Structure 1
Amino acid sequence: MIAKTFFGFEEILANELRALGAQDVEQGVRMVSFKGDKGFMYKANIALRTALKILKPVKRFKAYNDKSLYNGIQSVDWSEYINVNDTFVVDVTLSSDHFNHSQFVALKSKDAIVDQFRDKFGKRPDIDKNYPDLRINVHIHDDQCSVALDTSGASLHHRGYRTATNIAPINEVLAAGMLLLSGWNGDGDFLDPMCGSGTILAEAAMIACNIPANINRKEFAFEKWHDWDNDLFDTIVESLLKKTREFHYTIKGYDKAPSAVMKAKDNIRNANLDEYVTISQENFFETQKQSKGPLHMVFNPPYGERLDIHLERFYRELGDTLKQGYPNTNAWFITANLEALKYVGLKPSRKIKLFNGKLEARLVKYEMYEGSKRTKFQNRD
């Protein structure tokens, strides 16, 4: 099987898969391949935090023109997966000199499938782009065509808890990946000082308590398949929920906009995480650290793409607030405005290249010590 992900998350997704029990895990670019049975396919969809899709390959062949594509698609016995009264849709990704338009590939693949059914049964299944019984993924790279069944359906970032959003909310998979890259594991206090609609807070709480990422999701594509096993699915869910753990620290979120605070509270409640997360209306630049021990901070400040702000002043205030009010804190944030980082006035100890949508971004880490950095290392000696 193949788990699709964002650029920069391949290693943490591979680690997630190994921790779940996947076999033969291999990293690629924006994907990780692995082996597992039907039960593991269910488990991967429910539990993986950094996967966008789980694909089940069914055929691989060479496709260099429309005839070889058509014949390759027809070489699959599609009656194993759908019948004439079912619906399907074909999604296409292309990186090939042989084919220029994904819509043409989708249409040719659809023709191959419906012609097979007409020849066998005199009838054909219909196309349904929104709620198909089977979602088929066709990927062509150079002359290699891979055909797979989409086990997930809608992207796995659709967790099911977020009903209210603000301007350009952060993707749930991106939020979870940032948290895992930052080393967040629930062993301390957590703060998102610009929480927006609460996505990072929700993902942080689920990681801290080892709650499966997609436990609130309404449906997966495999639930419409002919071999759907409801009892096995329930067993998998039950086994995952038995592995949740207690959390003994605090997870807090701030936002200065009352509307954002209200939306974040709604989403946290939808995710059944309100016993772990506290959200309040605060201007981060007017706050100081509340917790006595180490603090872990991950947030998504405005880039200038989303809000009308004075970037130089904003990022300078961000750096001043961290420096003056948040000792003993590991502060991580993502920005697509690399110029703005100059104004923070602090040197990041880590910079990780990521993408927020189509925007190239950096996940940066600032280590705020108790006293000066020099004192920190003198005390260690």
Structure 2
Amino acid sequence: MDKDFKMVATTIAGLEGVLADELRKLGAMEVKEAIRSVYFKGDKGFMYKANIALRTAIRILKPIKRSKVFDEEDLYEAIQRIKWERIIDVDGTFAIDAVVYSKNFTSNSHYISLKSKDAIADYFVHKFKKRPNVDIKKPDIKVHVHIHKEWLTISLDSSGDSLHKRGYRSATNIAPINEVLAAGLVLLSGYKGEENFIDPMCGSGTLLIEAAMVACNIPANINRKHFAFENWKDFDENLYDTIEESLLKKIRNSHFKIMGFDKAPSAVNKAKQNIINANLEEFIGVHHVNFFNSKKEVFGKTTILFNPPYGERLNINTEEFYRKIGDTLKHGYPNSTAWVITSDMNALKFVGLKTSKRIPLKNGDLDCRFVKYELYEGSKKIKKEGKL
């Protein structure tokens, strides 16, 4: 039986708690939140499961060495003490990803990557008179070097490409929302597939697809064609197939409506194509509708979740645009819960509805707020603009 070992799942700032909750529900042990990451323990099979199933993880790292370093020479020597032939074939390829948060190192991350690459290459040359090549695009093994203060952690990246690359999105609009962030918004909203779901400004359909996968309990990365751990020397294909089959057996049907609107026909077409790519056309409907001319036409409890244009992305009249959002929600969508993410904190006061929750998040480099509105029959605009 495989032994348990420590791992790190990285994520977007603000989603650490969501990811930790995902890991616990999946069966991880010793779960501990950190900045943009969550530490946990599991065995090899759980590492496979985490990569396939986690919705809010960017990558899963397996630490293989931790030591104190105070300069580049310490780094070089620490890397040389690893038995790399057990990890990388001399005829194979590798790549280095480095992150540095230390006053002891004045060099940038790129230089640290080069120094780490040299240490691995020199290790092989000294021992085997030849060395593996560097391949940035499709390496056999991806090594993650992390320096925080005086601590060096060297990890193997078990994911490869970022886990936000689900494999379903072939068509996008301007500044599409990251799949990991989209999944995080769905989970933060409390949506579990037990009510209707509407994205009234759906763009290329990412929020709809992530919501449908939550509703149907479909593993987030089931459409991925490759994970980095498949190149590892200890990869167990039978174990991987068993884990995948077990996750697939837990998929369920959703009996509530999942709908997207967009006023641009091109966006509707892109969303439909991505939904087909994700094999979810049975569960999601997308319609050419201007949200500002719409009203709720589904019965029962409904979650409305959308990512409206920011001033940074599109040239809009902010006051008019957000005022229309509030008016449409108030008059057209009673008995619903609406969630909106935006980087324009000032714009939210024009919505004219009282927020019941405000969650700070990052969307790329933008500081955002994810806000909740409870919409009741006959909701009135608040008379005074509350603090955001």
Query: Do both proteins adopt the same fold according to a TM-score greater than 0.5, normalized to the shorter chain?
Result: yes
State the match for 1:98 in structure 2: 104
Among residues 244, 257, 281, which one is paired with 1:250 in the alignment? 257
Offset at residue 371 of structure 1 (A): 2.9
Count of aligned pairs = 374
Q: Work out whether 1:59 is the aligned partner of 2:65.
A: yes
Q: Report the RMSD for the aligned CA atoms in angstroms.
A: 1.1
**Which stretch of structure 1 is more off in the superposition, 97-106 or 126-135?**
97-106
Is residue 2:154 matched to residue 1:147?
yes
In the alignment, the residues of structure 2 paired with residue 353 and residue 230 of structure 1 have an alpha-carbon distance, to the nearest angstrom, of 40
What is the rounded CA distance, in whole Å, between the counterparts of 1:288 and 1:106 in structure 2?
A: 54
Matched, 1:277 2:284: yes
Aligned to 1:5: 11
1:82 aligns with 2:88: yes
Aligned to 2:246: 239
Q: Percent of counterpart pairs with the same letter?
A: 60
Q: Offset at 1:328? A: 0.4
TM-aligned CA deviation for residue 309 of structure 1: 1.4
Distance (whole Å) between structure 1 residues aligned to residue 290 and residue 299 of structure 2 = 20
What residue is the counterpart of 1:363 in the other structure? 370
Distance 1:313 1:26 in 2: 44
- How far apart, CA to CA, are the structure 1 residues paired with 2:131 and 2:248? 42
Q: Deviations over 1:47-83 (max 9, x none)?
A: 0000001000000111111110101111111111111
Q: Deviations over 1:307-364 (max 9, x none)?
A: 1211111000000000011000100010001111111011111100000000000000
Deviation at 1:13, TM superposition (A): 0.7
**Deviations for 1:169-212, whole angstroms, at most 9, x for unmatched residues?**
00000000011011010010110000000000000000000000
1:3-29 CA-partner distances (Å, limit 9, x unpaired):
001111111111111111111111111
Q: Equivalent residue of 2:355, what SS?
A: coil
Structure 1 runs (4+) greater than 3 angstroms displaced = none
> 1:319 aligned to 318, 326, 344, which one?
326
Q: Counterpart of 1:114?
A: 121
Out of 204, 209, 213, the residue aligned to residue 202 of structure 1 is 209
Corresponding residue for residue 377 of structure 1: none
> Deviations for 1:84-125, whole angstroms, at most 9, x for unmatched residues?
100001100111112231111111111111111111111101
Identify which of 289, 301, 313 aligns with 2:308: 301
Mark the runs of 5 or more structure 2 residues left unpaired by the alignment: 1-6, 381-388
Structure 1: distance between partners of 2:32 and 2:148: 18
The one-character-per-residue Cα deviations of 1:127-157 (angstroms, maximum 9, x if unpaired) are 0000000000000011111000000001100
Tell me the TM-score normalised to structure 2 length: 0.95
Range with greater deviation from structure 2 (363-372 or 120-129): 363-372
The equivalent of 1:376 in structure 2 is none
The AA in structure 1 aligned to 2:245 is: E
User: Residue 330 of structure 2 contacts residue 379 of structure 2 at CA under 8 Å; is this kept in 1?
Assistant: no
Equivalent-residue separation in structure 1 for 2:354 and 2:169 (angstroms) = 34
Of residues 282, 288, 291, the one that matches 2:295 is: 288
- Post-superposition offset of 1:271: 0.1
Match of 2:187 in 1: 180
Structure 2 counterpart SS, 1:108: helix
TM superposition shift of 1:300? 0.3
